[in-house]
Amino acid sequence: MSQKEKKASTRTEEEKRQHEEERLVERLEKIRHKIMVMSGKGGVGKSTVAVNLAAILAKDGHYVGLLDADIHGPNVPKMFGVDWRPLRGGDDGIQPVEILPNLKLISMAFLLPNPDSPVVWRGPIKHTAIRQFLGDVKWGDLDFLIIDLPPGTGDEPLSVAHLIKGVDGSIIVTTPQDVALLDSRKTVNFSRMLKVPVIGIVENMSGLRCPKCGHLIPLFKMGGGEKASKDLKVPFLGRIPIDPEVVQKSDSGTPYVVSYPDSEATKAFENIAKRCKEHVESHGGGEKG
Ligand SMILES: Nc1ncnc2c1ncn2[C@@H]1O[C@H](COP(=O)(O)OP(=O)(O)OP(=O)(O)O)[C@@H](O)[C@H]1O
Ligand SMILES: [Mg+2]
């Protein structure tokens, strides 16, 4: 390659990067509120909270995007009853999958050759994928983008916070027992390090209501999330009880809150959605869409 050709190709690379940057900024400007769902420990119910929260907000008439940022374990599509959908798109971007009225989803699962394919990627490639999920996906005007993250303080939350910059806040999901709480304290501090305000802590799997006598059995203890929120001086968003139907519904691909609109757990999800909305709306702008 001649010197002149080299210069021209560097310039086009540079122009490409600049174009991508501008597109990312443009896409993000159209999204009013961005919320990260995090936890220190795996399996505490982040994806369940993200899915049901998104379903409630969409049902309330908001335009909602759900970004499954769990690159290695993308199971949000399954919770909506889809393993895989072909992604459509052109030069102007990728079309997210409309999963419910007003609710669009993007997930690594849609890019895998089959649902059992592992993703063996290191940080920089994951960063590129998340960048594309934010900048190349045609989210359009959204009121809320809910970002479901893998557990811990690793690459994915770092990438999201770095790329979005103005994330409205994080919802930290925990279970009530001491070991989970230790991790959730770390997550609160991590969120603060990322300069992402903590919207609050959700205590999931908080007691099991006996179907016979109605007594609440503290299977994994109770009240720990509330105590952590007091200790760490962050809001407590609420407790979600254990309900075997949560598992059933997420396995069969319908959000729990859609199937059981009057249950105790749905009331808890709704209350959490209301408190999140109040938090983000009182900290910035009105509605879009
Ligand atoms: N309140 C609840 N009652 C009963 N089951 C629940 C409840 N919340 C979550 N579950 C179940 O617990 C399991 C783990 O939930 P989920 O996948 O949402 O956790 P996660 O924190 O996203 O996990 P990971 O860290 O692997 O991403 C699922 O089978 C889900 O259906
Ligand atoms: Mg998950």
Measured in angstroms, how far is the CA atom of residue 49 from the centroid of ligand 1? 8
Nearest to 138 by CA among 69, 88, 101: 88
Q: What atom in ligand 1 is closest to the CA of residue 205?
A: 1
Q: Is the pLDDT of residue 283 over 90?
A: no
pLDDT digits (tens, 9 = 90+) for 201-218: 999 999 999 889 989 888
Q: In the structure, what pLDDT confidence band is assigned to residue 289 with cuts at 50, 70 and 90?
A: very low
Residue ranges of domains in the chain: 17-282
For the chain, give the mean pLDDT: 91
Measured in angstroms, how far is the CA atom of residue 22 from the centroid of ligand 2? 30
pLDDT digits (tens, 9 = 90+) for 139-174: 999 999 999 999 999 999 999 999 998 999 999 999
Ligand 1 binding pocket includes 45 (Cβ within 6 Å): yes
b vs e for 85-112, b when ≥16 Cβ sit within 10 Å of the residue's Cβ?
eeeeeeeebbbbbebbebbbbbbbbbbe
Which ligand ends up closest to the CA of 180? 1
Q: Is the pLDDT of residue 288 over 70?
A: no
pLDDT of residue 190: 96
Of the two residues 65 and 17, the one the predictor is more confident about is 65
Looking at the domain 17-282, which fold is it? Answer: Rossmann fold (3.40.50)
The whole-angstrom separation of Cα 152 and Cα 43 is: 11
Ligand 1 binding pocket includes 73 (Cβ within 6 Å): yes
Q: Are strands 89-90 and 93-94 parallel, antiparallel or unpaired?
A: antiparallel
Nearest to 60 by CA among 248, 270, 214: 270
Q: Is the pLDDT of residue 284 over 70?
A: no
pLDDT of residue 287: 38
The whole-angstrom separation of Cα 54 and Cα 52 is: 5
Measured in angstroms, how far is the CA atom of residue 4 from the centroid of ligand 2? 50
pLDDT digits (tens, 9 = 90+) for 30-53: 999 999 999 998 999 999 999 999
Ligand 1 binding pocket includes 151 (Cβ within 6 Å): yes
Tell me the best of 51, 247, 248, 267 to mutate to test the pocket of ligand 1, counting ligand atoms within 8 Å of each CB and taking the most.
Answer: 247
Q: Taking the model in full, what pTM does it have?
A: 0.93
